[in-house]
Amino acid sequence: MSPMIFFLIFIIESATEKLCPLRPVIDVLEGEYFFLCYPESMREHIQDKANKINWYKENAGKQHLITETHRIVSKMNFLEFWPAELSDSGNYSVAYSNGKQNFTVPKWTLNVLERDKSSCFNKNHLTTEIKNAGTGHSLKCSDLSINQNDSIRWYKDCKIYENETERELDFKTLVVQHSGIYTCKILISHEGKMYYSTNTIKLVVEEDAPEAVALEIVGLDEEIATEIGKEEVLNCTAFLGYYMREDASLYWLINQTFPEKCTGIPGNEPPICEEALKTLQLGNEFYVTRLLQIKKVTNEDMHHNFTCVLQADERTQIKIVKLKKGNTQDLPVHVFTTGMVLAVLFPCVAVAVVFVCVMFRVDLVLFYRSICRRDDTAGDGKEYDAFVSYLKDCISPSEEEREFALNILPMVLEENFGYKLCIFERDVCPGGAAVDDIHSFIDKSRRLIIILSQNYISDRAMYELKSGLHKALVEKKTNIILIEYMPISDYNFLPESLSLLPPKRVVKWKKDKSLPANSRFWKNLRYLMPAKPNKVNTKGHYNTLALGSEGTQPWTEVRDFGPVI
């Protein structure tokens, strides 16, 4: 065997060892060079010339032998695609026979992803690396070619990055500004044509977290004003640090006695019971919380000490909660008698008033704000009335959601009602650290408006949501408004931590019916926004063509969304 042939076999063997793990599911972008190959456990059979190798693709539940074409080529232990197409998606397997024994590799599931025509990468075809600032790091381009002379080019956020052409992108010292989405592009020559393969990595650089943090109960001792017979739920939340502590214990005591556990069975709950411990992760911070339910407050409960205890690292922290009677006074006898007489004589009037207040509470509140020129924004130090979070990385073909966020929403709230919005794509100068910018602008905003759709959760949108949840739950500085822009049948894609927040509402967009500035949608949205004494112009009506809609949506509503901000 000549040295050149031996060297070639050595290179192929090394590439096989590096690139051929048995992965049950593989994602690849359409139009790019790609290959399937034997896993490590079968490499020893490749050099046997008597071997018979067959590749199969599953169609309609049956295995079909793959026939080679100019585009799909079987070479040694490789099945190459020049390039991969959407129709190549499916289940693949390979069978090997040496005339005596048959070997079959478990099937691969190959997903060929459609290219995002508005971006240089597909958000579903990237990996994420989170590193601390101040350390060195290298981004490695996936080696999908054996020839070391193949041309390589790096991109950052879809722009050419400093003419880097090496297979590894080295950072001697990471800083937060290095955060971004990096794509390497390998150009491969085959039969006189040029093909390419890409690899995309999202690099998140964070400031160093303290190695040791003090575990603590959130909040100080407090007294809660209540009334006899009223139901109360006491909440105790503790900060555990930057990883989940298995040795941490959080529980309630009533006058140094353990309460009973809640059974979860309606009608069979103890008068006072302790719920199960719940864990919560906000970004890289971990919390635990435990609730104490008091079904009906008694006079005896006013003299109890309800103590929340946190034990960790052989240390104990406590928080004491006491109940006290609210500052209410008994009504004079003549006032009580008059009220009773009116309640008996005019029940229909009372019912009608209640009905009007419930059905038109939004209109009544907006009318009250307009008459009193109430201003909730004066002196709070905030720069924006709301930060708008919407899906940015994956735009729908009609771009309806993007049009709504960038044009319709600010057109009505800013020009008609005088609000000031912060829209990342419109108001934030490019070139900064996106993570820091998002955190800063949410902190400067009184509300966080989240435009929900079934595909809402992306990397940036998830960070915006988590930042808002942190400020609403822990810091209690920001309220969240959810706009259901497109019908959503399943809310399970949202974080479980929403269940810890107090109940709020979702505003539903109903396209044509919602377009007038005086429609129910905009009234409901203004109801959830901070009050501002601005002149209101409700004569605006925006062309439905701006949203790409074709009518048919009958009405807009605000509906309960369970325990959401």
Catalytic residues: 464
Helix (H) or strand (E) holding 55: strand 52-59
CA dist 528 and 507 (Å) reads: 9
Helix, strand, or coil (residue 317): strand
- Backbone conformation region of residue 551, classed left if phi is above 0, alpha if psi is from -120 to 50, else beta: left
* Distance, CA of 162 to CA of 150 (rounded, Å): 19
CA distance 408 to 517: 10
Contact residues for 495 (Cβ-Cβ < 8 A; gap 6+): 465, 466, 469
The whole-angstrom separation of Cα 422 and Cα 438 is 10
Q: E strands, 157-284, where?
A: 159-160, 168-171, 180-190, 193-206, 216-217, 222-226, 232-241, 249-254, 260-261, 272-274, 278-282
Strands (E), 255-413: 260-261, 272-274, 278-282, 285-294, 306-312, 315-325, 384-389
Torsion of CA 63, 67, 70, 74, to 10 degrees: 80
What's the token pair of residue 474? 């822990």
In 3-state terms, what secondary structure has residue 117? coil
Residue position matching structure tokens 């990595």: 201
CB 563 within 8 A of CB 503: yes
